[in-house]
Structure 1
Amino acid sequence: MNPIQYQFRVRWGETDAAGIVYYPNFYKWMDEASHHFFHEIGFSFGHLFSEEKAGMPLLEALCKFKSPLMHEDEVCVRSTIISLKDKVFTIEHEFRRMDEVVASGYETRAWADFSNGKPKAVSIPDDIRRALANRRKKDDPNEEHV
């Protein structure tokens, strides 16, 4: 399946004194790309939380850097589901400047019910599971079949 793309231009405030992107911004952009991903598949984070009292707390994140990004670089983040389990999914993010992969990373998130004020991991709803499965990159031998 084709990844969902999130595009932006690096702003001055996201760089250090040398004009190179400060590394925590990649984690911010992965979070933004995940929000964009869910919006594109028809499930806004904001709506899910306000209407369904559902959220996706971050369990793990990793980013590997290959080449620096600079002020005003045009960036495209390609996001794909790489693992889908009962209560947890992993979304991969590939950062590109034109045709060059400059970084790649992932976020592992749990599906959680916030209706009692405290997050409790619950099964991913079937409609959302199907939408995520349709955006899955490859099969994981340990994941549950949808």
Structure 2
Amino acid sequence: MLIEFRERFELPVGQVFAYFRSPRDWARLYGLAGTVRDLGDGWIAVPLKSFPFPLVAKNTEVRPDAYVRWVFRGFWAGTGEVRFTGSDGATLVEGYERIGIRWLGPLSRPVEKLFLEQQFRAIWALGWRRLRRSAGSARPVARQHD
């Protein structure tokens, strides 16, 4: 599944970037659903509510306050990227996450559409709400959906 986003927050870019610096920081954005574990070599297991398997992710490229790219392994396969543009104390966050179930092959897409996509979109929405609350106010801009 592909989740694309474009969100604006009335927060400085460094404050928004801090939630994406490492997969370990994602728990602050989405909420803790268990213990975040360091698996070595940069791989981090991040448990998610409503999912039996954690996201196991590793950043592949980081440029502070500009962008972060990551990959998944284990049960999940895929990539993601978040770009940050700061202006006048606000931050525009643009990017995507392409994620699927590694071992389902051609069945992955129908299973994702029926059972997972709505939950993953809800997880991202929760993160955006948390950032908005920390800002006190924010304005979403045009969102793209599959």
Q: Which has the larger radius of gyration?
A: 1
* TM-score, normalised with respect to structure 2: 0.34
More helix by share: 2
* TM-score, normalised with respect to structure 1: 0.34
